[in-house]
Structure 1
Amino acid sequence: MKPLVLASKSPRRKQLLSEAGFSFDVVPVKISEIPNKNLNVNEQILDIARRKARAALPLLKASRTEPFIVLTADTEVIFGGGPLGKPQDREDAYRILRLLSGKYHEVLTAVCAVESSSGKELSHVETTKVYFKNLSDAEIWTYIDTGEPMDKAGAYGIQGQGRTFVERIEGPFDNVVGLPVEAVKNLLSKF
């Protein structure tokens, strides 16, 4: 396989890819992650992952002579048909966690891989259903006080203390963390 570049600043994605046995470089890119409201939720997430890949490609081509594959991802927590995003502040984190309490939501991760020399682009959206137990206000505020929810879609991290809120899941656990490794392996095997 051609050299792999993960265009993400997520330490969770880096860890999952490493644990899966991949050798890769990490070169984060910054783009606007404001979703295109003219697209459905799946298309919005795919669009963001694709925009990340397309932003990374010219930057990487400028510094590399050999062909490579760039991998990007975008994860969203979907509730009531729309994305919840990351909390703006403590009160917003409370609002999100209160919404999720006692209900299920979906975690969607779009992955996109682009081969630098041919421009071949492949993508996939993985879905996992996450069922939360009923949460008390005290549990929610204690969790918010840890600071963990503040940079997470859906205001929780399943790989951290947020896992105590989860009753069960249907689908890949690593998808909820931020990178569905089996889907990535399948995508990369097509290059």
Structure 2
Amino acid sequence: MSKSLNPEQRLILASSSPRRQELIQSLGLPYIIRVSDADETVEGKITPSELVEVLSVRKASTVRDMLESDEKHGIIVGSDTIVVLQDEVLGKPVDEEDSFRMLKALQGTTHQVYSGVACVDAQTGKHVVSHSVTHVKMKSMADAQIRRYIATGEPKDKAGSYAIQGIGATIVESIAGDYFTVVGLPLSLLSDLLLNFDIQVL
């Protein structure tokens, strides 16, 4: 019998990100999308790893609260990604000047990308959460190069103002760690977490 026939095994992706949707599709498990409009503000001093874990759980839990009772089956997957440069968290840019500021600061340096992943059982509310970190080294760039990259529109809704899976790949010199952590959904970590719910990707 195929592993994908059990309706309890479906995944519910709590994200509107097309990148995360493509990645979850690659697992070959049945899934649906439910967009979480969770509040992403966090009070007080919190480490980057705590931040992405808190927000991942919050996104998944928000979607669980939105589901109708007859929809509450499957595992809700929430994920959050941030870029950290010398203890400063770089979120999504507010405008093009903000993008320029971030990319100018990142160029020629190594920064960290944290991605949290939370899996919440839609029926019981049981959850597991973890995160992974990847180190990304950016090339040194001229201001004109940074402006041309911003003009492509790619940095607009990306944490840290770049997308490694797009033309942003040309400004990354090297990475140490999991590539998919930088894209926004660490698949290796997700597959490990799903084992807690008896879901085997392979």
Q: TM-score, normalised by structure 2?
A: 0.90
**1:118 corresponds to which letter in structure 2?**
T
> Which residue of the partner structure matches residue 84 of structure 2?
78
**Contact 2:9-2:30 within 8 A present in 1 as well:** no
| Match among 1, 4, 13 for residue 6 of structure 1 | 13
Q: Quick one: structure 1 residues 73 and 173, their matched pair in 2 at CA, closer, same or farther if it must change by over 3 Å?
A: same
- The CA distance in 2 between the partners of 1:164 and 1:157, in whole Å, is 10
> Which residue of the partner structure matches residue 167 of structure 1?
173
Provide structure 2 residue ranges, at least 5 long, that are not aligned to the other structure.
1-7, 198-202
- The CA distance in 1 between the partners of 2:172 and 2:47, in whole Å, is 27
Aligned CA-pair RMSD: 1.3
Q: CA deviation at 1:38?
A: 3.0
Q: Secondary structure at the match of 1:38?
A: coil
Q: TM-score, normalised by structure 1?
A: 0.95
- The CA distance in 2 between the partners of 1:9 and 1:42, in whole Å, is 22
Provide structure 1 residue ranges, at least 5 long, that are not aligned to the other structure.
none
Could you report, residue by residue, the CA deviation over 1:143-184 in whole angstroms, capped at 9, with x for unpaired residues?
011111010000000011111110000011111111000100
Q: CA deviation at 1:61?
A: 4.0
Q: Secondary structure at the match of 1:190?
A: helix
Q: CA deviation at 1:20?
A: 2.5
Q: CA deviation at 1:89?
A: 0.8
**1:79 corresponds to which letter in structure 2?**
L
**1:168 corresponds to which letter in structure 2?**
S
Aligned length: 190
| Match among 48, 51, 59 for residue 66 of structure 2 | 59
